[in-house]
Structure 1
Amino acid sequence: MPMKLSNVLLLLVAVIICATFSLRIFQGLDEMMGDQYWVVDTTMGDHGWYGMGLLPHVNKVPKDVVKAVNSDPAAKEKYIIYAQSGDFAGNSVYGICLGIPLIMYLIWLAFILGFPDRIDPYLLPRRIFTLTVIIACSIIVNLFLMRIAADFARDPMSRIANVAGNHASLLFHNAGIWFAILFSALGTPNHSARETAAPDSRNWQTQANEKFNWMFVLLFAVTILEVALVKNKLALPDAAVDYSVWIILVVIFMRMFGFSPKYWVKRGRGIAIMLAGTLFTLPVFYLLERATGTLGAGFASPILTQAMGPENANIGLSLMISIYLIFWMEFAAAIRMNGPSKQIPTGKY
């Protein structure tokens, strides 16, 4: 049964509030730096690090001072730059950076906790504990990666908080999604008193050829699409990031809606929610950038135009489309409207 409209709106509002608050924490880190650098204070702790070497002792130093010292060949001690404003939240591409925590909190609330209408009081403590472990793993793993980046940064002008390729918030929220999927696959949020018997693969009807054929058709389609987007400067010049998200989209699409058109045509509601939601979301971020002047949409963006030139004003469009297609596809599953509009007859073979 599909979710009631009131619960649909409650879930959507809760996810938006949680994602906005989470990204606000990273925005606060950027605001703390202002127009200065965070540099590692090597006189403190273990060469500037504490908390088992995962957290840095940092000082705020004016950028012109850091640049003057680091560019002076006679200076014996160079500043090690940890971060500058913009490395954490990514306000210039706010639409992209907000999309990842939206997906993360949708998975956490709807698929792990069962919010709002499938919360099991018996399993709730176990699921809250699972979320606590997910949060701890996401933070510790990413701090570890950031420390590795610090150790490998030989250029004193390198900014080592920017490990995600764009902004650190993407790294932490992506890890939240990854660990949520991992623990869900392991069955950690659930409990069974008895171990179930393993399925007998001799009775499977795999349809492997059809699955692989359509998977490669979809992968070929998104490959052509990504090439076209890159050629027309509608995607990041380094296509690997954008392309990886499109590949994830293909995998999730086949899991949600089936692996061939004969299943897709019976799941029109979910596909319609995915497409309509994405078409609705893009203008929202377009208007948000015009209203705030600081929170970039990632496409048709005056912020990107000013920073990278008019030819790069739309380089975030590919990620915006793929991220929000994934979000609304997951949302359709969360509200139980990704299935067939009519019951598919099943038979035994």
Structure 2
Amino acid sequence: MKKAGMFLCLSLSLLPVAASADGPAVIVESVALQPVEYSPSMLGRVVAARRADVMPRVSGMLEDGLHCEGAMVEKGDLLFRLDPEPFQIQVASAEAGLMNARAVLKQAEAELQRVQTLRRSSAASQSDLDSAEANRDVAKSQVAAAQAQLKEARLNLSYSEVRSPLAGRVGKAEVTEGNLVTANSTLLTSVVQTHPVYVELAVSSGDILKRQRASGLPSAEEVYAELTLSTGETFSEKGRFNYMSPEVNQQTDTLLVRAEFANDNNQLIPGEFVRVRAGQVQPEQVLMVPQKAVQRDKDGYFVLVVSDDNIVSQRRVELGSKHNSLWAVASGLAAGERIISEGLQKVRVGDTVSVREE
């Protein structure tokens, strides 16, 4: 009887030890790659792909003003006309100057031929021949100068007609008929290209950095841009990202990103605000962890990892973007590792735990 009592006491004394060997019960999840579509939504502004301020290239009196304010124009369409008479006079004068220069050249060539004939018979000196050749060369240069003056005069005459430098929508007239305008100074109107158009948005440099560390920035071919208009409608055409600023704006800590959109129906108006969503052609495979498994202290984010021997250790992680209840992991974990998602309050680093997979 005494031996039986001793055996019972020994058995009872071992119960707590067996329980502690199992350790606290926790639920773990295996870190795995999951398909994730990176699709942030940001506010952007529509801007014209090209814009030109229309100014006269010659000075003069504005004879005919703009008759198509706000209309669509093609490159080369007539917008304004200056009084052409002063330029026509310059052309006529230059033509007369060219005729005179040619006549002088003809005379100089005839004189050279005469002196050459006399020189062969020693009736003219070498000095006479040299002078005749020089006069001929001077006359040639005068013809070339007269031709250049005529070309310039004709060019200025063509500039009396102010034409659109690009296809797009023309603005309002800044000057009306009867006013004197100055070359390369007086603003007549402006023309903005409306097809295609750009949408510019300022993206936080921190978001770009997180994205780059998480899975790298996708190429332009891997992403597309989608617009939501101020009316709530989705724009019918998808755009493509074609530019990202190489420098961070130090005042706003943002990077300028630009997308290009076709705008055949002129539905997008430069200056308006739109909402831009970046979508991916193919979802990426990214390491994901549940939000409830992530903890934070003064040094940053960390998770509790359970080894093959069920021993708990702390692991610092760098997080990327958040997707519903999951975090993308930029660094610190590998696929297949087990992390504690429930029961965090029960354990400490170094504990041996009883594991249940979720």
Normalising by the residue count of structure 1, what TM-score does the alignment of the two structures yield? 0.22
Question: Which structure has greater helix proportion?
Answer: 1
Greater relative contact order structure (CA < 8 Å, 6+ sep): 2
Larger gyration radius, structure 1 or structure 2:
2
